[in-house]
Amino acid sequence: MLNNIQYISHGNTPQEQLYHIEAVLAAGQTWIQYRFKETTSTTRWTTAERVKLLCEQYRATLIINDCIDLAKAIEADGVHLGLTDRSIAEAKQLLPNKIIGGTANTFKDIQQRYQEGCTYIGLGPYRHTNTKKKLSPLLGLEGYQQLMTQMKEHQITIPVVAIGGITLEDILPLKAIGLHGVAISGLLQNSTNKTQLIQQLNALFQ
């Protein structure tokens, strides 16, 4: 089952990654996308093993960003791949019956992801975010509306998750145009009442 609220981890050190991930898990978050790019491969892998234990402890879904081999090695629930990462076909072969998410920014990307057989699409960015470098062109609500309309016209049915600087006020407008959910990082990480925020976010998607 795909969660409506997906947390993308952020942190410059293993300690920061683990601190933020455990904090959101303890507050009730049940979907973690582990994203730790600015580090060595060894550090990324050893930290991932600890993240896996945390997700097992809290019975949360664990998705690995970009790295198919890491997802396979620690038996994560799936992987999320960017447009320049390894192919969806390769991920499906190495991770049978797992969740395979794919990034998209344009309608052409959406068509590609749909044809590749992704489980869901992470579509964005909605607005500017400081948690990711090298952003694709911003979409905004109007951009999402146009893309969702094009999907209906072409009978493309696949869950779409919005990503990029999402705020609480964005949830209902995004849900209204057909978005399955949102992927967030800073919104949840910087919240002083994470439990309340997670409850609010989930309630808005009910």
Q: What is the mean pLDDT of residues 158-183?
A: 97
Q: Is the pLDDT of residue 131 over 80?
A: no
CB atoms inside a 10 Å sphere around CB 109: 17
Q: What pLDDT is stored for residue 68 in this prediction? A: 98
Q: What is the mean pLDDT of residues 21-37?
A: 98
**Could you tell me the end-to-end alpha-carbon distance of the chain, in angstroms, rounded to an integer?**
15
Mean pLDDT of the chain: 96
Q: Rg for the chain (alpha carbons), in Å?
A: 16
How would residue 133 be classed by pLDDT, with cut points 50, 70 and 90? Answer: low
How would residue 1 be classed by pLDDT, with cut points 50, 70 and 90? Answer: confident
Contact 125, 131 (CB under 8 A): no
Note the pLDDT tens digit of each residue in 104-124: 999 999 999 999 999 999 999
